[in-house]
Amino acid sequence: MSYPEATYRDGGGEISARYRPAETAPNLLTRGGGSTHYLATTEQTHGEFGLYRIDMAPRAGGPATHFHRTISESFFILGGTVRIFNGELWVDATEGDFLQVPQGGLHAFRNDADAPASMLLLFTPGAPREEYFEKVAQVADWPEEERAEFFLRHDTYWTD
């Protein structure tokens, strides 16, 4: 492997870094007291990746087993216990644990614990996941055809 082709071609560098203090309010509040922080969106990274902090409430559950055809997904546990399915078995992941799921890899995650949990989610290449996070809780009430189109548009294929 080698470095990719240069995308920055000007001579002396530029001031373009984006600082996000830890106390920044979450971008999305989820049912039961969880939240999602959009740390680096696909738009901000020019499609290179998307990075999100997911803070899950106790017993928040999570998505069923699924896979993505176009994006990989990586999980880094910041705190608490996140139950992660690696395609073969469920693992109780705790602070510092990491799981990388390539395109096509079966996976799922949930918080079954009586305590909150927090993790980083990294999608590569970047994908517009914000709409997915903002609407996924509503899709159960949608007509089947509309729900299927939503998941297809967001590269989410269920196995259950």
Residues near 52 by beta carbon (within 8 Å), at least 6 away in sequence? 36, 37, 38, 39, 120, 121, 122, 123, 129, 133
The pTM of the full predicted model, rounded to 2 decimals, is 0.92
92-121-55-18 Cα dihedral, nearest 10 degrees: 150
Domains, the chain, ordered by start:
28-158 (2.60.120.10)
Confidence at 31, pLDDT banded by 50, 70, 90: confident
- What the block records as the tokens of 102 is 């390539």
- Asked if residue 86 has pLDDT above 90, the reply is yes
Confidence at 116, pLDDT banded by 50, 70, 90: very high
